[in-house]
Amino acid sequence: MSKNIATLIGFTAILQWSSIVGLLKTISSKIGADLAVTCMYTFSAIILLLLFRIPNLKQISKYYLLFATSLFVVYELCFSYAIALTQTPEQAIEISLVGYLWPSLTIATLIIFKELKFNFLVVIGLVISLSGIILIQTGNGAFSWVSVLHNIQQNPISYILALLGASLWALYCVITKKYSNGHNPIALFFLVVAVVLWLKMFILHDIKSMPSIDTTTLIYMAILSTVTALGYAAWNIGIIKGNITILVTLSYFSPVFSPFISMLILQTSLSSNFWSGTILVTLGSLVCWISTNWQPIKAKLLALKMKYTCD
């Protein structure tokens, strides 16, 4: 497999994950949040087990396995329920953007863990990203803190879950980078999520009163589970055999890809303030990324300048 093909496959992971919000909201509006989320992770876990299987757990640090599994499970529950519990398609897309604070929060967490040196650009990037989230909450109207707070108060649980999820995913990324030693127990993580969700269903819900699932919803569920699972498979191919620099850069534009694809799936429209906020979230993430890669970027720019000067 060529490097370009592997990079293209990796890029499809970003597009596949960008469709999750729209698909999950469509399904949860028909069968409820609990059943939608439970089925999603159950089918995704089955696909991932077929693709990756469970690695040799003896080779993985027990502390990493315990901590990373806990973080992953809680993150996935926060993310999925934040979307599934939204009241409208527009709100589902708005709240999904809160989750895209994770790149900026990851850089901040790396600094806290002393994996990166502090750079004031990180603070600027975080402020820009947060400004984008705040702008999105104003809807079509002029900016005011009253309208922002009113929008959040309509569904505070989803907003809290989304922000908590973004923070936990940032921490998970740092822990995985530092302690995973190259192991990828993603199938195990999804299996644990599915088990936790089914235990929750049996303990807190009446299984007999579950809504019936029609054919259309089953098709959406199959698509959702497939893109969730195959996204991880495609991403692994991309980062192992493709151009990881291009893929990481493209991943920072997920806040643009995801709302656009979700808008098409949910057949809704988004305000100009939303897209302006989306651009700010993306720009803030890029500023944080540049802050950690400034020296290599500066070296490449100087090399290009020298090349064209010599020519």
The torsion of the CA quartet 189, 23, 75, 276, rounded to 10 degrees, works out to: 140
Name the pLDDT band for 196 (thresholds 50, 70, 90): very high
pLDDT at 42 over 90: yes
- With a cut of 90, say whether residue 221 has pLDDT above it: yes
Residue whose token pair is 């409208």: 88
Averaged pLDDT for residues 190-206: 87
CA distances from 44 to 202, 222, 243, 279 (A): 20, 9, 26, 31
Mean pLDDT of 186-210: 84
Mean pLDDT is lowest, of 32-41, 90-99, 191-200, 240-249, for 240-249
The model's confidence at residue 142, banded by pLDDT at 50, 70 and 90, is low
| pLDDT for the residue 143 | 64
pLDDT computed for residue 244 by the predictor: 66
State the CB neighbour count (10 A cutoff) for residue 103: 26
Residue 115 corresponds to which tokens in the numbers above?
């994996």
Instruction: Give residue for tokens 């469970």.
Output: 54
Q: Determine the average pLDDT of the residues in 260-269.
A: 91
CA distances from 127 to 154, 201, 210, 237, 288 (A): 24, 39, 44, 34, 10
Does 73 have pLDDT greater than 70?
yes
Question: pLDDT grade, residue 245 (50/70/90)?
Answer: low
Higher pLDDT, residue 217 or 304: 217
Kindly tell me if the per-residue pLDDT of 59 is higher than 90.
Answer: no
In this prediction, residue 223 has a pLDDT band, given cuts at 50, 70 and 90, of: very high
**Residues 187-203: what's their mean pLDDT?**
90
Query: How does DSSP classify residue 85?
Result: T
- Mean pLDDT over residues 43-52, rounded? 90
Q: Which is more confidently placed, 69 or 296?
A: 69
Task: Give the pLDDT band of residue 292 (cuts 50, 70, 90).
Answer: confident
Query: What is the structure's pLDDT at 24?
Result: 92
pLDDT of 194: 93
Alpha helices in the chain (DSSP H): 3-18, 20-31, 33-51, 62-84, 89-99, 102-112, 120-136, 145-153, 156-179, 186-204, 215-241, 244-251, 254-266, 272-310
